[in-house]
Structure 1
């Protein structure tokens, strides 16, 4: 089997140059599957399914543009337009070439070569690609951006950052080594001199281009403690690299990679069922309320909403398993499962619960760590939302203690009567969504938190959403691979405190506090003095 001969433009671009061994050369190519084609004196941008006109172009200009967009050095492409004896025509062609090259700049990939070997490749995703390398003096302190990270994509090493709008591929391992050395801040000249893998002129130019792409940063000024970088101060300094990456990659505007409901695994992996396969273990039947309303005189929705607050202390006795069952029924039960409906763009089974969920995925599961629940042994249980039962998954005292301790550390104060750990069956979302699967899980958690808060408030329970938890501990407790089903939320629940403790919880912010400032209708929340009330003997608030 013989290989196809190289494209003439590519071969031309790789021809030896006097300075090829020490300096970078730049060439451009269109993305795979995109070509330029000329017809009837016009130039077109074409893919397998579409064609876009770029305007008029005589055969000479069309050939120059096609070769330029296939890897020919830009200077060589421009020189091919100057062979005509008519200087006016040459000037017209050159001006038209520059306009077309500018129009394509947001599409063209850039290849930075050294002696015919590609070092890096950069493809614009959103926004304009840098027109020139960064203007860095040899004395300027530089370093790798703290937001930069390396990862493998399709067998290639990609360096990415929340601050770049181009995809930069490291096609030569010498560049990867150079980036590793840039982790420490030092003058550009020192970084260039300390590395020995690339010629100094090429290394200097490469670092300047990486700075233009936002992957290398330059110091604003020198301080007594060293160089100061803008990304470490002000607004940017308040972002962690992980948060920056998730924010920019789960929203449109920074990348042009597939986004949203692409169903990327359709036909490759079967979607998980809407209802989780049941755990094996001791089953605890739960109370199922017969009436929609909590009580004939239950508070109105607006009163419950205004009364909602976090409560971190508890009453002398914990809630009963009956009240826990009613709480779970009203907040997290599965009301129905339905689908798949391919004709509605829903080729998977969905579910319906009181709390909303992206795409009807209902990826979330609830586990209860019971500490002080009357009628329920101290253990970790899975809430089977389809059957409305608890299934014991762990009764080991040390694990139960650790689950409660982690929640107490997050919340502060007393140990909750029960801890609700929210997990996600991640592939329920990852099967359908690209780039936003985990962000959608967190949105689902937020919606469930609010449902927990409102129902707990209406039922006279003490709710408190927690800011974090121990995912590794949860994985051990429930016996599931944390990348298949992992913890994404934690919620403390208990009985309402009484007497002075209850008054203190309801009146934590009052107009008499000089550090408290009212906004819009703050008096509405005073309804909590009547809505948040300990239940009577019948179990109603």
Structure 2
């Protein structure tokens, strides 16, 4: 078998659906979009996700593959050893089907002979095999399974399954609903009007696809009731699985899914209209002379939730934003450049130079600026007033206080938003995951600069996106909050913070102590 064919095709057939025999346990066909070509003694099986060339194929295998391309075939059922419904194939055909597993669709009919389920393999770990349950063994839909619409039908998936199942009729949909609570084959036959053979056949494929659990223990606990599985939420597991490769076959990465359909969003957000405040620009020579070494800033870095008695100054705020978020340079969209979209360069890293993040500042107090909610214009290096409502300002600041376990509000709350289409125009499957990585590197950049400037920084663990959208006037499909960070002037330390006595030092903890002492041993010249 060869994956790089050079033979020219002489005949082409595409997948069509035909009505299977009503008494067959399963039928094999190719997934929609599969093309089978026969030429020069070889068979080419092609799908947008894979292409295979099969040479020296036995005659009965060749006939089977061609029949699968035009309709479906019915393998023999192995009814021995309690494995009713297991898919048994001749060895030579089983070898080919295993190789083509990701292009094969297993169609499971209901009692009338109409297709009810279609099982597709996303990751070829092994050939799909149904696992027939006993009549009175408890069954339950996996709590990680989810049903969604794709094209013109319903698809059942799980981030823990290498397969997906398409529901092809209402009987299948009713079965999935019934499996939402623990049940048995016996109860399914009474409640849904399914025959016992039909219930076993349909559920066996769902169990084999790891979408339905079976076999609870004496206490009624299923495998997903384990301590390890319980600590995974559905959304966390789905996000982890689908934003990385390995457990699905969906497009992922920089594939530019909308390049020929939608224009990319601008690299620089259109400026808000409103009163603006020009921010002071720091001098590089002064900054280099005043800054501590990187290791000192890294080791001394810590979250400081308490603001100083005196407010942060506009000069400090200007230097902080200039060093963390300004646009250093930009390039317009040009077909001759490596990236087919406009891009910018800023102090923190961003995948593909997309720079989807925007910085909004809610100022409670700042020497040189009026309280308000501002957008930071990274090109003009200025603050533009977005919202002057004191009540909205108070709501955002109070939420920040709650996120830091109480105390006084910060001098400034920085709300990070993402212009999502900056990423999703380029990246498939991982756009939002990339946004959160950008938030992380922006946090670290802000922490290091704030530490070097002897300010009080603190990243927040969560925020209210809906509230931020309303206050900032954002369309949540285009831009929404993804991170929060507080910044204040810091009190002059009278001594290095004492180490918590319950913490045991390891791996040169004194680095932190020495770095903190060194950081505060020199007077600050950063815009105070």
With the length of structure 1 as denominator, give the TM-score of the two structures: 0.86
Matches within 5 A, 1:107-118: 107-114=103-110, 115-118=112-115
The C-alpha deviation readout for 1:202-241, integer Å capped at 9, x for no partner, is 1232122212212112254132xxx212223232211110
CA contact (8 A) 2:136 2:186 kept: yes
- Match of residue 289, structure 1, among 275, 282, 285: 282
CA distance 1:538–1:131, shift in 2 (3 Å): closer
Q: How far apart, in 2, do the equivalents of 1:208 and 1:420 lie?
A: 53
**TM-superposed deviation, 1:294:** 2.0
1:295, distance to aligned residue in structure 2 (A): 5.3
For residue 88 of structure 1, what is the aligned residue in structure 2? none
Is 1:160 aligned to 2:157, yes or no? yes
Deviation sequence 1:443-474 (CA, Å, 0-9, x none)? 11101000000000000101111100011111
1:238 to 225, 231, 234: 231
CA distance in 2: counterparts of 1:457 and 1:293, whole angstroms? 16
Is contact 1:286–1:389 with CA below 8 Å preserved after alignment? yes
Q: Indicate how the Cα distance of structure 1 residues 135 and 199 shifts in structure 2: closer, same or farther if over 3 A, else same.
A: closer
Alignment of 1:148-297 (within 5 A): 148-196=145-193, 198-223=194-219, 227-294=220-287, 296-297=289-290
Structure 2 residue matching 1:186: 3-state secondary structure:
coil
1:372-409 per-position Cα deviation (integer Å, ceiling 9, x unaligned): 22222221110111111101111111111110011111
Structure 1 position 129, deviation (Å): 5.2
Check whether the contact 2:361–2:373 (CA below 8 A) recurs between aligned residues: yes
Structure 1 residue 292, shift from structure 2 partner? 4.9
SS in 1 for 2:287: coil
Residue 339, structure 1, aligned to residue 332, structure 2: yes
Partner of 2:415 in structure 1? 421
The alpha-carbon distance between structure 1 residues 25 and 468, as it changes in their structure 2 partners (threshold 3 A), is same
Q: What is the RMSD of the two structures over their aligned residues, measured on CA atoms?
A: 2.8
- Counterparts of 1:148 and 1:14, CA distance in 2: 28
- Supply the distance in 1 between the matched residues of 2:324 and 2:49 (Cα, whole angstroms): 48
CA–CA distance in structure 2, aligned partners of residues 177 and 105 of structure 1: 28
Q: Deviations over 1:273-313 (max 9, x none)?
A: 11000111111111111225525242111111111111111
Decide whether aligned partners of structure 1 residues 314 and 130 sit closer, same or farther in structure 2, where only a CA change above 3 A counts: same
509 and 69 in structure 1: CA distance in 2 versus 1, 3 angstrom threshold: farther
What secondary structure is seen at the aligned counterpart in 2 of 1:294?
Answer: helix
Q: What pairs up with 1:372-451 in 2 under 5 angstroms?
A: 372-414=365-407, 415-451=409-445
Q: Distance in 2 between matches of 1:490 and 1:46?
A: 48
Farther off after superposition, 531-540 or 460-469 = 531-540
Partner of 2:6: none
SS of 2:75's equivalent?
helix
For structure 2, the residue ranges without an aligned partner over 5 or more in a row are 1-12, 79-88
Q: Answer yes or no: is the 8 Å Cα contact 1:28–1:69 preserved in 2.
A: no
Question: TM-score with structure 2 length normalisation?
Answer: 0.88
Question: How far did 1:426 drift?
Answer: 0.3
Q: Is the 8 A contact 1:106 1:128 kept in 2?
A: no
Q: Is contact 1:193–1:200 with CA below 8 Å preserved after alignment?
A: no
Q: Which runs of 5+ in 1 are unaligned?
A: 1-5, 79-92
2:360 is the alignment partner of 1:364: no
CA distance in 1, matches of 2:48, 2:373: 56
Match of 1:81 in 2: none
Structure 2 counterpart SS, 1:467: coil
Q: What's the counterpart of residue 486 of structure 1? A: 480
The 5-angstrom pairing of residues 506-517 of structure 1 reads 506-510=496-500, 513=501, 515-517=502-504
Partners of 1:8 and 1:367 lie apart in 2 by 53
Which whole-Å deviations, capped at 9, do the CAs of 1:123-178 have from their partners, x for residues lacking one?
11113355432243333222211111111111221112111111221121332232
